[in-house]
Structure 1
Amino acid sequence: MSKLPFMMGRYKWLVKVLSVGAECKGEDPNGEHKKPTSTKQQNTTAHTEAKKCLDEKVENNIPKKPRFYIEEHKVFNDPIHGHIKLHPLLVKIIDTPQFQRLRKIKQLGGGYYVFPGASHNRFEHSVGVGHLAGELVKALRAKQLEELEQEQEPSMDSESLINDRDVLCVQIAGLCHDLGHGPFSHVFDGMFNPQADPKGEKWEHEDASIFMFDHLVNDNNLKPLMNHYGLITEGDNENDLVFIKEMIKGSLKNNSPQNEKLYKGRNNEKSFLYEIVANKQNGIDVDKFDYFARDCHHLGIQNNFDHRRFIVFARVCNVDGQLHICSRDKEMANLYDMFHTRNSLHRRAYQHRVKMAVEIMIKDALLKANQDPHFQIKSSEGKTCCLSEAKRDKEAYTKLTDEVIEQILHHDACSCSNESTPSSLGEAAQIIERIMSRDLYQLVGEIKLKKEDQEKAEDVTKRLKTELAKAIPKDGKQDENDNFEVKVAKFDYGKKNEDPISNYTYFYSKFNPTIGFKIPREEVSNLLPECFSEKHIRVYWKRRDDKSLEDAKKCFKAVKKEVEEN
């Protein structure tokens, strides 16, 4: 009887399994074999040994994971960037009280009171910047490796090659760059703090972010975990904590001699890494990439800049002996779109006239509450402090968020409705109630300074204050801070009246991708603006009575006419 086809197949499979099993035991598959006592035993033994051998082969072929990727990355679903994977150390940082605090700080400050969609917070923006920082640094590293593989004349030595430590540090810096923002973002550091602490040293949110980053690392004992993932947290030689804090602070302006060490965290060969998170040289960084896309999404404004395209074409190039992040020469139009988007957002949202009125009111409420001894923030060691002192205490500052206005409004010491002369805290609550009922400060008028008068903004401001003081009623509140506010709204491309592209940005060509160069303005376009900066002076009246408002408008018109005629 002839064998059926399916039996032939099973027989051949059995022979193959026996051969693999013999190889695993070091036997010759064509040699003599000791017959098993039964066919069933033969099949079972061969199958077991073959499976064991195959498992060993597979295990030996799996590359060992480096310690940077021991654990699974967690996936976040972001409305702007889609599904993003974050390193376990980044997730650990996110799951700390210092970082979770950012959920309670609005990205656009008082903008939510004007734009109903602007409800996003510093939390999701920071996660987005951490993601984009990783995307850009990985893209730059891929270009470096590609350049080495193609055996071209390298534009860099081995000291400048991006490694896993660099990638993780850049991601952490992007994630933590906004840890120091106070209530309503720039309202606290840009408006409240200069008036609440005028004699104090200059204090910016970048300094506070470094302050809070130290607190986050120490309070949550993260140094051992950082060391576990390969970071160096001790010593002076390429200390990664120093590197991260330097990136949060921002890159230095490139005016130092080439032989001078620019930073402590990394050598000059890697100074280009400082241009990723906070680029102070030309303003092209992942912080702006995220908030342009995110703010436009929530504001309902079109974003013309494609940050994904920038990342694809970005690479590290040699510029007069120093390495910089450069973009392809044909991408100049895309970068001008970025700065145009920045200018448009400032005009339509960031410095919107009503938004500015709301933020002045929030600032005034915080100043009033800061003067009241009953309103205190719990600080370390069981002590308390006022709002302006909270920035110097890590525990107190961690508790300071946008919720402060609710705390003022519902504070037990607030009795503004029962007293004819309310306390400072009561006055603060009254201002907040005006915001809630849309009884906002009134815009008296706006002066758009001419191109040749841009530097006269300070003189015009002083002139306005002198004239407006005459419109204040003689009722006891003669302080200008209780009656009006003069604000200068600045619109530019980020470098005052300079072109950030032709003056500060480097490009490379398709035919020589390792050398960076500037593109002169005359080779760009004849349609570029002649002026890159503009200032508008606005006057807001704080009083509610119509009579004083009309008097203020008359004073304003007189000054405006004088400015326009001169």
Structure 2
Amino acid sequence: MHEYKVIQDPVNGPVRFDGPFLEIIDTPEFQRLRYIRQLGLCYLVFPGANHTRFEHSVGTYYLARAFADHFALENRLELEAAALLHDIGHPPFSHSVEPLFREWTGMDHEEAGRRIVLGEEPFADSQIPGILEAYGIDRREVAAIMSADPGVPYSSLVSGPIDVDEMDYLRRDSLMCGVSTGSVDYRRIMEVLEPEDGRFVVEEKGLPAIESLLINRILMYRSVYFHKTCRIAQGMLNNALRSCRDRVGNVFRLTDAEIMESIPEACYREITGRRLFKAVVRIRYSGEDLSRVKSAISSMSEGDYVLDIIPPLEFSGPSRVKSTINIRMGGDEVPITEVSPLVRSLMKSLEDRYILVATRDGISVPGL
């Protein structure tokens, strides 16, 4: 009998690992994910949000295996490996400070993950490529799936507008944060997808299930991911890290705790003691007002304030909010935004931005 392990997942129940997947989860690269919080500093607002990239990766693998079984996909091993490894390159605190780490290294978590899977510098010592090769799994195809390469059949299952990554994190994040949004019926979605020429097509009867997915995604952004206090804490961590670049090594090998050990003690105590900056300015976004705000805070020390735009300017367009989904209706494929007023309305709500300034001790900003 083959050796196997079962991980008891609070969202999906028991998840069985054997063969290459059992070996992968025991590697140092994968075990590091136990110490990377899924939602960064959101636990300061939602106390239950202490779940990690490790358990999310387990759940994503579980769903990929379920879909691969249901549709009898021929490249299932590569798809399952990509699902398990899709977050292997996440730096500490997940997305919270990733833009800063990208500025430092030229890599985001997707590029770091690709290099870990391929064994490329600075991850030439990665154990992942050898395991994949030993089991006849094409590591280049795995990396291509992780990079959403449309040339690989059904790569959108792992990274696309309807993917197992999102089906897991929406359910997991909403459960751990204790919010009612985020409910996703992945079994129903499975039933309304039709595999065709290496991609999945949504049948007309599947419109309500896909609407529910998109609506819950947008509501989670509004209620959790872009919560102003979470964003303030993230801004404070960014400020702290900018002052200690020389003390930080390869961030894609570090954990949350190791990063926190690198920042100045005063900043560490502020963040971990939840002595967060107070919001003193909140106005609707415009380019003119942003220039006015920047001018007003120019005389302040950078470590004494957080300036943010919520939602961020880069978070816009159908591809970013993943609404590029077509519904097959009457033989034609129609964008969901053309047939769903609900989706159109909620997408528009994400364009309603505001400028936030938070300061230490709530000190007011002259002229604002």
TM-score by structure 2 length? 0.87
Pairwise mapping of residues 436-451 of structure 1 onto structure 2 (< 5 A)?
436-449=272-285
Question: Are positions 1:350 and 2:256 aligned together?
Answer: no
Deviations 1:425-461 (A, max 9, x none): 6xx2111111233321111122234xxxxxx4x4432
Deviations 1:244-291 (A, max 9, x none): 111112245xxxxxxxxxx4xx4xxx3xx1111111xxx221110000
SS in 2 for 1:179: coil
* Residue pair 1:206, 1:248 contacting (<8 A) in 2 also: yes
Q: Higher mean Cα deviation, 308-317 or 515-524? A: 515-524
Task: Write the letter of the residue equivalent to 2:229.
Answer: V
Question: Are positions 1:117 and 2:48 aligned together?
Answer: yes
Identify the residue that residue 555 of structure 1 maps to in structure 2: 367
* Residue pair 1:329, 1:508 contacting (<8 A) in 2 also: yes
* Residue pair 1:361, 1:432 contacting (<8 A) in 2 also: no
Question: Are positions 1:463 and 2:342 aligned together?
Answer: no
The one of 65, 85, 88 aligned to 1:176: 85
Identify the residue that residue 31 of structure 2 maps to in structure 1: 100
Question: Are positions 1:306 and 2:153 aligned together?
Answer: no
Q: Unpaired segments of 5 or more residues in structure 2?
A: none
Q: 1:130 to 1:521 in 2, by over 3 A?
A: closer
Deviations 1:442-494 (A, max 9, x none): 11122234xxxxxx4x443222101233xx4xxxxx54x233232111289x7
Structure with the larger RCO, 1 or 2 (CA within 8 Å, 6+ apart): 2
Q: 1:169 to 1:208 in 2, by over 3 A?
A: same
> Could you tell me how far apart the structure 1 residues matched to 2:28 and 2:319 are?
41
> Could you tell me how far apart the structure 2 residues matched to 1:83 and 1:308 are?
17
Identify the residue that residue 111 of structure 2 maps to in structure 1: 207
The one of 309, 312, 315 aligned to 1:488: 309
Q: 1:555 to 1:101 in 2, by over 3 A?
A: same
* Residue pair 2:29, 2:88 contacting (<8 A) in 1 also: yes
Identify the residue that residue 297 of structure 1 maps to in structure 2: 175
Identify the residue that residue 518 of structure 1 maps to in structure 2: 334
> Could you tell me how far apart the structure 2 residues matched to 1:433 and 1:289 are?
35
Identify the residue that residue 230 of structure 1 maps to in structure 2: 136
* Residue pair 1:497, 1:532 contacting (<8 A) in 2 also: no
SS in 2 for 1:213: helix
Q: Give the deviation of 1:306 after TM superposition.
A: 1.0
Question: Are positions 1:365 and 2:210 aligned together?
Answer: no
Question: Are positions 1:542 and 2:359 aligned together?
Answer: yes
Q: 1:168 to 1:114 in 2, by over 3 A?
A: same
Q: Give the deviation of 1:138 after TM superposition.
A: 2.4
Task: Write the letter of the residue equivalent to 1:90.
Answer: F
> Could you tell me how far apart the structure 2 residues matched to 1:344 and 1:524 are?
16
User: Larger Rg: 1 or 2?
Assistant: 1
* Residue pair 1:491, 1:533 contacting (<8 A) in 2 also: no
Deviations 1:489-516 (A, max 9, x none): 1289x76268979x7323347xx9xx66
> Could you tell me how far apart the structure 1 residues matched to 2:308 and 2:59 are?
32
What percentage of aligned pairs have identical amino acids? 25
Q: Give the deviation of 1:74 after TM superposition.
A: 3.2
Question: Are positions 1:287 and 2:191 aligned together?
Answer: no
Pairwise mapping of residues 371-386 of structure 1 onto structure 2 (< 5 A)?
371=246, 375=247, 386=248
Task: Write the letter of the residue equivalent to 2:80.
Answer: Q
Q: 1:439 to 1:327 in 2, by over 3 A?
A: same
* Residue pair 2:102, 2:108 contacting (<8 A) in 1 also: no
Q: Give the deviation of 1:338 after TM superposition.
A: 1.3
Q: How many residues align?
A: 363
Q: Give the deviation of 1:209 after TM superposition.
A: 1.1
* Residue pair 2:281, 2:355 contacting (<8 A) in 1 also: yes
Q: 1:225 to 1:177 in 2, by over 3 A?
A: closer
Deviations 1:281-312 (A, max 9, x none): xx221110000000011011123321121112
Task: Write the letter of the residue equivalent to 1:333.
Answer: P
> Could you tell me how far apart the structure 2 residues matched to 1:114 and 1:462 are?
30
SS in 1 for 2:87: coil
Identify the residue that residue 67 of structure 2 maps to in structure 1: 136
> Could you tell me how far apart the structure 2 residues matched to 1:181 and 1:286 are?
17
> Could you tell me how far apart the structure 2 residues matched to 1:180 and 1:140 are?
28
> Could you tell me how far apart the structure 2 residues matched to 1:527 and 1:178 are?
28
> Could you tell me how far apart the structure 2 residues matched to 1:79 and 1:171 are?
20
* Residue pair 1:317, 1:516 contacting (<8 A) in 2 also: no
Deviations 1:338-395 (A, max 9, x none): 1211121112111111111111112222222225xxx3xxxxxxxxxx34xx25xxxx
SS in 2 for 1:488: strand
Task: Write the letter of the residue equivalent to 1:250.
Answer: A
SS in 2 for 1:504: coil
* Residue pair 2:327, 2:336 contacting (<8 A) in 1 also: no
> Could you tell me how far apart the structure 1 residues matched to 2:303 and 2:130 are?
52
> Could you tell me how far apart the structure 1 residues matched to 2:360 and 2:133 are?
58
SS in 1 for 2:367: helix
SS in 2 for 1:187: coil
Identify the residue that residue 127 of structure 1 maps to in structure 2: 58
Task: Write the letter of the residue equivalent to 2:218.
Answer: N
Q: CA RMSD in A?
A: 3.0
> Could you tell me how far apart the structure 2 residues matched to 1:138 and 1:506 are?
24
* Residue pair 1:140, 1:314 contacting (<8 A) in 2 also: no
SS in 1 for 2:232: helix
Task: Write the letter of the residue equivalent to 1:539.
Answer: L
Deviations 1:204-240 (A, max 9, x none): 2101111222349964656565445333xxxxxxxx2
Q: Unpaired segments of 5 or more residues in structure 1?
A: 1-69, 142-161, 232-239, 253-262, 376-385, 392-396, 409-424, 450-455, 473-477, 557-566
Q: Give the deviation of 1:71 after TM superposition.
A: 2.7
